[in-house]
Amino acid sequence: MSSNPSQIKLPRMEKYSVLIVEDEKEIAELIELHLKRAGIDTTIMRSGRTALESIKKSVPDAVVLDLMLPDVDGLEVCRRIRQTHDQRSMPIIMVTAKGDESDIVAGIELGADDYITKPFSPRILVARVQSALRRTGQAAPIDSDRMSMLDGQLVIDAGRHVVLLENKPIDLTLTEYGILQFLAKRPGFVRTRDQIIGAVHGKDIVLSSRTVDVHITALRRKLGAIGDLIETVRGVGYRFSESREALAE
């Protein structure tokens, strides 16, 4: 594992706090060491149940969550966190030793914003945590506050940071929202996976292209019957369907 943590500075004066939920002592302490070196306050919990109790008392700015936990597993912890309205925007970065696609997809669909598999580089983990914290603390500017598609069937309201499907809000993660907004702003334009990662996470963050595929799969499912708005361009990336062009209201 790399021993050089990322030194990216975060856009606010007070320290961010991250809850580390990991039952393996050495891994938890390794994550804590590198996050603290990056100027982030940390708390370690070694089980899902104690993590949920801790969040009720004090909500952290982000959670680094292992999937394989005693008592309440990581997927259930993620689900319970997202059930609470005040905690829906809190970034969750999953850590898994399995690397199993089904577990990753399940976590993303339950509301995780990102994932990393063991063994991992501490520098990459810190970079992903910092990227998630920046996205919650500093909203990116957009061309229009409100975009309407399909005669108003789908609405992306950037002012309120919500997506409406048939006038009902869709519960999207921050990453899913960012991807949908980025693609919808330029319908018909093909976006590579690297472009999507850069737009949503920042150009300095290096992520696997598979991360984008997992988020797109979850996003399409949440969009239901109109999930085909997001088209796959084989060997290149994705685009928002030009035949259902987004019009600023």
Closest by CA to 120, choosing from 16, 52, 216, 24, is 24
pLDDT band per the 50, 70, 90 thresholds, residue 9: very low
Q: Where are the beta strands (DSSP E) in the chain?
A: 17-21, 41-45, 62-66, 92-96, 114-117, 146-149, 154-157, 162-165, 168-169, 191-192, 230-233, 237-240, 247-248
Q: What is the pLDDT of residue 7?
A: 46
Taking 90 as the threshold, does the pLDDT of residue 207 lie above it? no
**Do 147 and 246 touch, CB atoms closer than 8 A?**
yes
Rounded CA-CA distance 78/81 in Å is 5
Q: What is the pLDDT of residue 100?
A: 66
Task: Return the SS3 of 240.
Answer: strand
CA atoms within 13 A on the CB side of 170: 25
> 146-248: same fold as 17-137?
no
Q: Which CATH class is domain 146-248?
A: mainly alpha
The domain defined by 17-137 folds into: Rossmann fold (3.40.50)
Taking 80 as the threshold, does the pLDDT of residue 8 lie above it? no
**Residue 156: φ, ψ to 5°:** -110, 110
Rounded CA-CA distance 45/21 in Å is 5
Sequence-ordered list of residues with C-beta below 8 angstroms from that of 101, at least 6 positions apart, any chain:
214
Q: What is the pLDDT of residue 138?
A: 46
Domain ranges of the chain: 17-137, 146-248
Burial class (CB in 10 A: 0-12, 13-18, 19+), 138: exposed
105/133: higher pLDDT: 133
Q: What is the mean pLDDT of residues 72-95?
A: 88
**Residue 30: φ, ψ to 5°:** -65, -45
57/187: higher pLDDT: 57
